[in-house]
Amino acid sequence: MDGPRILCLVTTSPTNAATKAVAVNETWGRRCHILNRQGIVEVYRRYDGQYDWLFKVDDDAYVVVENLAHLVDDDAYVVVENLAHLVSQYRPTDPICCLKGSGVVVGDARDELGEPRFFHFEPEYWLNPYKTIYERWAPMKKYQTYNYSAGMKCCSSTAISFHYIKPDAMYVMEYLIYKLRVV
């Protein structure tokens, strides 16, 4: 794979190994330079120097790895600046601690049209022009840095990830993104 080397750290559990983890491995996970389901400390020990970027994601997300690679290749978004420092701050009882004081900065990953690329829910929550995500899940509003639109203007044409994707839907997305062609 040309471009930046991306290590995809997919958090999963034994109960999801035969479903979600398999779907990730058979769909978008194949496009990562390294796909790993171990913790961040093990990733650092085992793969230090073998990747340019670390992308941590849950096993129920679908990722368009090529769009992620394009984003980080343009230096528009820094996922982790210094993994060694991040690992040194890691505490298993408080996994969030490693982001505090580590130098990780939350950036604006919207595209040049201001459309978002990372999504907390599956595409149908964003694409329906008649009912916004905020109507479906009101608490979402307080966690947003910027507002999302409903309908076809909801999402960047270079979207990177959608969360809460069921394994069957991962295969559907794989087909729609990589196989379906208009003739």
163, 170 contact by CB (below 8 A): no
The pLDDT, as a whole number, for residue 154 is: 85
The band of 139, judged by pLDDT with boundaries at 50, 70 and 90, is low
User: Which tens digit of pLDDT belongs to each residue from 32-43?
Assistant: 999 988 887 788
Map out the domains of the chain as residue ranges.
1-107
pTM: 0.82
Measured CA to CA, the distance from residue 175 to residue 58 in angstroms comes to 21
Q: What is the dihedral of CA 28, 30, 25, 120, to 10 degrees?
A: -30
The pLDDT, as a whole number, for residue 132 is: 65
Specify which of 55-64, 65-74, 113-122 reaches the highest per-range mean pLDDT.
55-64
